[in-house]
Structure 1
Amino acid sequence: MTVPAQQRWLDGIAAARHELDRSSTAARVADLLRDEITTGRLCPGDRLPEEDLCRAIKVSRNTMREAFRLLVQERLLVHEFNRGVFVRRLTGDDLADLYRVRRILECEGVRGAREATPEALARVEAAVADGERAAERESWPDVGTADIRFHQALSALCGSPRIDEMTRHILAELRLVFHEMGSPREFHEPYLARNRRMADLLRAGETEAAERELRSYLDDAEAQLTRAYRDAE
């Protein structure tokens, strides 16, 4: 019997509850839900059943509502009066602003790559390799997740915990945008080679060429997503 999509992500949340200590905070619950969005298991328009979530994670309704409030502030969820809490659908204006911020954060990371730690550069390579392996399995949602990790790794080259936190939130929103594309394969497959090229340029220390490639990449992706939004409208 096929497991309903809602039950799959609820099971994933329940499996992660052991990570919550006795002082389990709303922030940690919000982290769990944000991860479900970032990995694509929670989609725009999905309703978050409060009682089911409280049972799955074993937290109080007050804690869950505070977690919801945090994610509403991050523009990932929306509360609809008398209907409940839903994963947000982003607008075309949201999309444009996301790419504006991404250019600032990711390009700054690439510019500083020469001063980045070997571990930070290794995370870039690992994300590219994860995407390539997922493509070999034809697991295109996993390719999308690896792409998110790749761009997180680019901004992490800045070596700033504050930028890392900002990027986590921005790329969770971006994953919601990805759902607007009809075919994950058609959207993600062309960018695998471009991710590999950027990783190779960074490994070779060619940061100026890597930044040019990244700016072109972001321009193309934004244009493609904008067309999808316009077609949907």
Structure 2
Amino acid sequence: MGTTESETGGLADDRRLLGRTSTAERVADILRTRIAEGYFPPGERLSEDSIGKALGVSRNTLREAFRLLTHERLLVHRLNRGVFVRMLAVQDVEDIYRTRQLVECAVVQGLGEPPYALDKLDAVVAGGERCAREHDWKGVSTANIHFHRELVALAGSARTDELMRSVLAELRLAFHVVDDPRRLHQPYLVRNREILEALRGGARTEAEQLLADYLDDSRTQLVRAYAELLTDPE
């Protein structure tokens, strides 16, 4: 089923983000965020007409943005059918976690001597805990993703930040299919806090082990739930 103008997730409100230089990269950034937030779920066909009109961009600009997101494995082009938000395979989810383990643990391992700049990480952890108290499970999910993004940002590497932005956006495609943010994310709030406090105390090796165990458990849980849904979608 195609995306209609009324189902573009408020993209018209994002037109101001394009400024005077309506580049394909900026359009791709807007769409990447909307996909990550679940406005365009896995399997959804993206309408060039509706999205182009909502953002006020040309067909060529939009197609280039689609091409960029296809390269990032967020979209897939199907001949004579159009462009769709990608549906991950179980193997994709497993590979994403392998990448996360390599990158995130290496970042923590390479932090150097404390103290570390933990203000943003602290704010994200507190925000996730606040969302849980308010039973805002979508907010918990978002805070958990932001925790890992800010953890990697401690490396101070724009290239690593860009890699993780793409990896985490792709991972959220799986989260949207499982669609149970409380079960998937609430148990990890405590573990986010544990990792933060280990880093605050300068215990980098402990933080790295906590993170490795965390990612192993998260991968096992998500792969199991995701595989069950793909096998028995009812």
TM-score scaled by length of structure 2? 0.91
Q: Which amino acid aligns with 2:9?
A: L
Instruction: Show the counterpart of 2:35.
Output: 37
Q: 1:182 to 1:161 in 2, by over 3 A?
A: closer
**Cα deviation, residue 82, structure 1:** 2.4
The code of the aligned residue for 1:78 comes to: V
CA distance in 1, matches of 2:18, 2:209: 42
Aligned counterparts, 1:37-116, within 5 A: 37-114=35-112
Residues 1:175 and 1:116: Cα distance change in structure 2 (over 3 Å): farther
**By how many angstroms is 1:41 displaced?**
2.7
Residue 227 of structure 2 aligns to a residue in which SS?
Answer: helix
Equivalent residue of 1:85, what SS? strand
Pair 174,164 (structure 1): closer, same or farther in 2 beyond 3 Å:
same
1:186 pairs with 2:186? no
* Residues matched between the structures, number: 228
CA contact (8 A) 2:42 2:176 kept: yes
Residue aligning to 1:25: 23
Distance 1:128 1:170 in 2: 20
Q: Which digits, 9 at most, give the CA deviation of each residue in 1:107-140, with x for residues without a partner?
A: 122223345885x421111111121121122111
Identity %: 50
**Segment drifting more, 135-144 vs 29-38:** 135-144
- Asked if the contact 2:114–2:202 (Cα under 8 Å) also holds between the matched residues in 1, the reply is no
In the alignment, does 2:116 pair up with 1:153? no
**Equivalent residue runs for 1:103-142 within 5 Å:** 103-114=101-112, 120-142=117-139
Residue 170 of structure 1 deviates from its aligned partner by 0.3
C-alpha displacement at 1:79, in angstroms?
Answer: 1.3
Q: Deviations over 1:57-91 (max 9, x none)?
A: 10000000000010000000111222221110111
1:102 counterpart letter in structure 2: R
Structure 2: distance between partners of 1:61 and 1:5: 16
1:209 is matched with 206
1:138-187 CA deviation, whole Å, 9 max, x = no partner? 11112111111100111111111100000000000011111232422111
Unaligned stretches of 5+ in structure 1?
none
Cα displacement (A) at 1:6: 7.8
User: 1:44-68 CA distances to partner (integer Å, 9 max, x unpaired)?
Assistant: 1122111111111100000000000
Q: 2:72, 2:166 within 8 Å by CA — same for their partners in 1? A: yes
Task: State the alpha-carbon separation in 1 of the partners of residues 209 and 140 from structure 2.
Answer: 23
Corresponding residue SS for 2:211: helix
Farther off after superposition, 37-46 or 109-118 = 109-118
Give the root-mean-square deviation of aligned CA atoms.
2.0
Match of 1:10 in 2: 9
Question: Equivalents in 1 of 2:64, 2:77: separation in Å?
Answer: 12
- Judge conservation of contact 1:106–1:154 (CA < 8 Å) in 2: yes
Counterpart Cα distance in 1 of 2:106 and 2:92? 21
Q: TM-score, normalised by structure 1?
A: 0.91
